[in-house]
Amino acid sequence: MSFFQSFSKIQKWIIVIASLILVVLFSLVSLRNVLLIRYVEKKVTQFNRVYAARLIVEDAHFKGFFGVYMGGVKLISNNNDTLIDSKYIYARVKVIPLITGHIKFDKVQLIGFNINITQTDSLNNFSFLFSNKEKKKKGTVDYANRIKKMVDQFLNYIPSSLEVTDFSLKLSWNKQSVLFKMEQFALLNNMFSTEIHVQENNKNNTWKAQGSLGSREEVALLRLYADTGKVTIPIVKELKGLRCLFDTLRLELNSNTWIDTKYNSQGLISLSGLVLEQKKIALTEVKIEKAACQFNFSIGKDFIEFDSTSTISMNNYNFNPYFLVKLTSPRKITFKMHEDFNAQTFFTSLPTGLFTNFNGIKTSGNLKLDVDFFVDMSEPDSLEFNAGLIGKDFKIVKYGETDFSKINDTFIHRVYEEGVEVASFMVGPKNPLFTPINKISLPLKEAVKIAENGGVYYQSGFDIYSLKQSIIQNIKKGKFVRGGSTIEMQLVKNVFLTKNKTIARKAEELLIVWLIQSSNICPPDRMFEVYLNIAEWGPHIYGINQASKFYFNKLPATLSVPESIFLASILPRPKWYKYSFSKDGNLDKKNQAYFSRIASSLVKRGTILPADTLNLLWRVKLRAESKALMLKDTSYFDMNAIQQQDEEFFNQTKKNKRPPFNLFPQRDKNESRRNRRNQ
């Protein structure tokens, strides 16, 4: 066969194959809309089967050779409330990735895209997205792999060009709502700039957003600020009572890597001109000029780790905490922080309005903070917790707004309840009700010390063991039920702070106690003396002198063992003392364990003898004035039974001309001598 004959035959085959390809392509082009509609219908059916909602696509067809148009896209929850409503969506895929089997978008357009999220009491239109009707496969979750897939999909599907016109997002919670609107948004060459109009409670604000999205080297960059004034975070004021404003928010995601089965992310989030206002945080506005977190965190198969190379900044103060959460069941939490820092930098960097007692304080030297914390949530009792704050050449050069040394001298103490002054009195010898510590009975002093401080003075100002036990109890109850305050902390709270329970108050309380103790501003005995003279021992009963007379018509020096233990029991909840008694007016038997514990500790310390622990509950008899206050709650107490007991007690006392029991059996003189020696 000649060359020309062979070439002619090849030409025929080429023409045949080309014709077949053209026929196939023509068929595909002719039928592609039919195939697209069937594909969309299949996906819609699958979605509606899996989720308790209705996905609707009114129109779907090709626009151009590689462009897909979908009109009238709606997502409606099972309570017939529309979550998503879009006029039309257009997407054009890239040709080369499509040949290799990957879908990447060249251009995406969203026109009239509206999202409406609603929550009314227990009903909402979005929860179906988080629970489908098909059973999920059982097994452990690989969090790192899940995050990697989500991030990769997000980056892969970011188009080269994105245009959004007439976008709105409406959030409605009960009677509160906020509307976000963007008239135009354009992402071109990974860069964007847009305006966001915010409408809330008839107030309008305009935010400006600029940044980039999609680059592997710099995954994301966002800068958000207000057109005029500050950016106000909407809806949280009405829902959580939190008012939050800032000048500029900056977010950077600098790297997104996968190393040794761990997903690592590094970046920065910063806020300037931050203002917070919430009663649980502080009573006044809290202002932070600049706050930032340069983060380096990892997500593994079953853990999240915040590395200590991360830096959290507050004004000019920086610290590097370490945080690890094991996501296994049960969860395990580790927290560590070991910091050396300049004391003055720390105090000047404190947020304005948060720790007002330190405003203007001048210090020298450095501080060292060490915190080690670990807990297995299934075994709270195994909690490991150690913390310490040490001064290195630390000195207070000048007091700020508050002179902490005032507790060494006579001063006016003011008592506030819910921000309102309810009492004020002088603390010192000029007040006839003031009782020096050497004129207070030893059993009372030791009982209070045991009940409130475990029996000792804490040189650091706080009791790590008590704080540890309070954390354990809070974990067990799943809420805040115990604070772990010592006598020193309660004194600081009463003298320098308000009784309002805020996050700031507890932190400030700890820091003031540490300053007083570490700087030797006030000796422990003086702090204890002031505490006993200002503590509340019942509704509006302040100081041990008033308490001794009110309950027992005695001087503090003559209080018996059971009376001392009773008064110590009042301190944690002074306004609830009446509930220590049964309905017949006697101390309830539920107090027996408490009395026995304190009495046992007093015996071990050599304060009392075993004989002093007999019939403790029965030996607590209130005088008429205190009982009258208690009996105001006639719905709780049996008036007839109490009156009968009062008559019997009065008659027996009158007959014996002394109380029907010995306050200190077998050794009145010995204990009196020992009291004087110990005092």
| pLDDT of res. 226 | 93
With a CB cutoff of 8 Å and minimum separation 6, the contacts of 63 are 69, 90
| pLDDT of res. 649 | 47
Give the mean pLDDT of 271-298.
Answer: 91
Q: Is the pLDDT of residue 523 over 70?
A: yes
CA distance 651 to 91: 98
φ, ψ of residue 193 in degrees (nearest 5): -160, 130
Give the mean pLDDT of 344-369.
Answer: 92
pLDDT band at residue 435, thresholds of 50, 70 and 90? very high
| pLDDT of res. 216 | 56
Express each pLDDT in 441-459 by its tens digit: 999 999 999 888 765 554 4
Give the mean pLDDT of 460-487.
Answer: 68
Q: Is the pLDDT of residue 114 over 80?
A: yes
% of the chain beyond a pLDDT of 90: 38
CA distance 485 to 459: 14
| pLDDT of res. 675 | 38
Question: Mean pLDDT, the chain, as a whole number?
Answer: 81
Range of weakest confidence among 152-166, 339-353, 594-608: 152-166
| pLDDT of res. 654 | 47
Give the mean pLDDT of 514-525.
Answer: 89
| pLDDT of res. 599 | 92
pLDDT band at residue 661, thresholds of 50, 70 and 90? very low
pLDDT band at residue 208, thresholds of 50, 70 and 90? very high
Q: CATH number of the domain at 403-678, please? A: 1.10.3810.10
Range of weakest confidence among 316-320, 483-487, 543-547, 551-555: 483-487
End-to-end CA distance of the chain: 129
* Per-residue buried b or exposed e for 513-550, using 16+ beta carbons within 10 Å of the residue's own CB: bbbbbbeebbeeeebbbbbbbbbbbbeebbbbbbbbbb
Domain borders along the chain are 10-50, 52-127+159-213, 403-678
User: Percent helix, strand, coil in the chain (nearest 5)?
Assistant: 35, 35, 30
| pLDDT of res. 505 | 79
| pLDDT of res. 656 | 45
Range of weakest confidence among 311-325, 487-501, 514-528: 487-501
Q: Is the pLDDT of residue 613 over 90?
A: no
426 CA to centre of own chain: 38
pLDDT band at residue 568, thresholds of 50, 70 and 90? very high
φ, ψ of residue 224 in degrees (nearest 5): -125, 130
Give the mean pLDDT of 294-305.
Answer: 92
Q: Is the pLDDT of residue 359 over 70?
A: yes
| pLDDT of res. 578 | 77
